[in-house]
Structure 1
Amino acid sequence: MQEKKADMATTNTSSSNKNPKKANLLDHHSIKHILDESVTEIVTGRGYIEDVRMSNIRLLLGTIIIFIALVAQFYPKKFPENRNFLIGCIVLYIVFNGFLQLIIYTKEKNAILFTYPPPGSFNSTGLVVSSKLPRFSDMYTLTVASADPKSVSAKPPVEFTKSVTQWFTKDGILVEGLFWKDVDGLINDYGRESKKSK
């Protein structure tokens, strides 16, 4: 099986003129990062355009939080005189940080990609693609769901859970052909769910 994976890895990489994706098999963050990155490439390769609004909101909130911290640090007056100003900065810092954490907890959760609907599609919602790879586990769960679950055109989510050992050689090289096939199949399942529910 490892030889077959190695052959597929060589064929896959030679046909696509790019460096093979290699993960440290002892680091689950490295494995998840490579898989998530590949999922994003596969989904956007299917015509879905990435929706970066949520990322932009997080960046804006992060910038505001940093600005508040810098203003508090470099305010011209010394401590007893700037006490009320510092208290105001601390309150603002906590409020904006709370907003940021709320967005991450309620909207993003395990999401790795938000998309718009594909151009020319009758579906009015994009996708939310989420993944999980628990620590000390080799089971990778990938979920494709509607970006707006309350929408009339929202479809039931689909997911698979598989061992990451199916997609990596013993050297840590991702066999992109095998992984692509599984992710592509999941997106097709989501499309079939869409047709069923009409």
Structure 2
Amino acid sequence: MSDSNLELAYPIEIGDTVQVKQCLDESLIATLCDTHSCSTKLDSFKVTLMLLACFFALIAQFTPEPFPESRLTLGVCVSLYFICSGLLQFVTTFIEKDIVFMEYHGDFEVRTDLKRFESDYLFKVVVKGKVVFEEKWCIGNFFTEEGYFWNEGFEAKVRDVVSKALKKTKKE
């Protein structure tokens, strides 16, 4: 993905932390995917769970038996749908947490956080479960007052920080 693909043609509302975090995270993923192989194992697992849940919902919806006779089928399908949805929620909440980028071989991952009503974007590089770099970046460094995103500056900062963090861990 080229640098210009993520430049915003229109400003975003910088008071909307969800929109700001989404913009920063998408730029981070595009930047790191240019230089590192991205792991999609967790995403594939989540999509599989979603498809399985949809499959059970379709069976429950379009079962050919009339209602009183289809109670067992409906009960099983609803239960399996609930289990798939619960597993998906568990994976998202407790396993994925705040991971934005995971390297394919599992060498490192990048985690981010932007709390509601705050202007500090927390950036962490985690290598083998250990935080090797953690820093807060003010979103004002990457957005103008009108809400335009400075993609080149953000990408340069991400590349610099990740390469330094990985070099630091190789020395240890």
Equivalent position of 1:32 in the other structure: 21
**Structure 1 unmatched ranges of 5 or more:** 1-15, 118-124, 150-154
**Superposition deviation, residue 107 in structure 1:** 1.9
Give every structure 1 segment of 4 or more consecutive aligned residues whose post-TM-superposition deviation is greater than 3 Å.
16-19
**Superposition deviation, residue 55 in structure 1:** 0.7
- Compared with structure 1, are the counterparts of its residues 107 and 157 closer, same or farther at alpha carbon in structure 2 (3 Å cutoff)? farther
Equivalent position of 2:135 in the other structure: 160
Mapping of residues 85-96 of structure 1, within 5 Å:
85-96=73-84
- Radius of gyration: which is bigger? 1
Mapping of residues 2-81 of structure 1, within 5 Å:
20-21=7-8, 22-45=11-34, 47-81=35-69
Counterpart of 2:23, as a letter, is: I
- Compared with structure 1, are the counterparts of its residues 137 and 81 closer, same or farther at alpha carbon in structure 2 (3 Å cutoff)? same
1:141 aligns with 2:130: no
Normalising by structure 2, what TM-score? 0.87
Counterpart of 1:20, as a letter, is: E
**Superposition deviation, residue 54 in structure 1:** 0.9
Q: Which of 55, 80, 97 is matched with 2:85 structurally?
A: 97
Equivalent position of 1:191 in the other structure: 166
CA distance in 2, matches of 1:129, 1:92: 33
**Superposition deviation, residue 24 in structure 1:** 2.2
CA distance in 2, matches of 1:18, 1:100: 31
- Compared with structure 1, are the counterparts of its residues 128 and 135 closer, same or farther at alpha carbon in structure 2 (3 Å cutoff)? same
Counterpart of 2:96, as a letter, is: E
Normalising by structure 1, what TM-score? 0.76
C-alpha RMSD of matched pairs (Å): 2.0
Equivalent position of 2:150 in the other structure: 175
**Structure 2 unmatched ranges of 5 or more:** none
**Superposition deviation, residue 160 in structure 1:** 1.1
CA distance in 2, matches of 1:66, 1:187: 38
Q: Deviations over 1:99-157 (max 9, x none)?
A: 2122112221011111124xxxxxxx3321111111111111111113x43xxxxx543
Does the CA contact (< 8 Å) of 1:114 and 1:128 recur in 2?
yes
Does the CA contact (< 8 Å) of 2:124 and 2:131 recur in 1?
no
Structure 1 window deviating more from structure 2 (91-100 vs 182-191): it is 182-191
Does the CA contact (< 8 Å) of 1:156 and 1:193 recur in 2?
no
CA distance in 2, matches of 1:175, 1:186: 17
